Amino acid sequence: MNIPNVAKYQKWLILAIAAQLGAVAIRVWLTLAAGEEVNDAGSVAALGGALLMLMVQLGAGVFGLVMLILLMSALDRPIVSRVLAGISQFIPLVGLIVLLFVNQRATRVLRENGYHVGFLGASKRG
């Protein structure tokens, strides 16, 4: 098990989770704003913003998938579980639960190896 890589990939995974949640929240807000607009120009602009956030969400999802696979590799998880975790990322709520579960496992491993794990990742205890 490569503990420094676990710390590095966990930090990136946390940022990917935050980016996914932020993009979903902004996209929902923009979609709702488009439905409330009375003029067509504002509605088109809000829908354009919602489409942009959908693209950001897609990018964050791909980044999260890559970080999930790398983190599971650093944790020495079996290939089958890596593949199943990767497939789970295409199921909306299940994918988020898997990300959080793997993040929790990485946190436990890091704490057992002398790392302090905070909100945005791990740092070595001095």
Query: Exposure string (b/e) for 29-65, b if CB count within 10 Å is 16 or more?
Result: ebbebbeeeeeeeeeeebbebbeebeebbeebbebbb
In the chain, domain spans: 3-124
User: Closest Cα to residue 60, out of 33, 92, 97, 22?
Assistant: 22
- Report the mean per-residue pLDDT for the chain: 84
| Single-letter code of the amino acid located at 17 | I
Average pLDDT for 12-33: 83
Residue 9: count of CB within 10 angstroms of its CB: 24
Tell me what pLDDT residue 42 has.
Answer: 59
- pLDDT-derived band at 118 (thresholds 50, 70, 90) equals confident
More confident residue, 125 or 67: 67
Contact 13, 68 (CB under 8 A): yes
Tell me what pLDDT residue 40 has.
Answer: 58
The answer to whether residue 84 scores a pLDDT higher than 60 is yes
The answer to whether residue 27 scores a pLDDT higher than 70 is yes
28-59 per-position pLDDT tens digit: 787 777 665 545 555 666 677 777 877 888 89
- pLDDT-derived band at 1 (thresholds 50, 70, 90) equals confident
Contact 73, 82 (CB under 8 A): yes
Q: What is the pTM of this model?
A: 0.80
Query: What whole-number distance in Å separates Cα of residue 40 and Cα of residue 10?
Result: 44
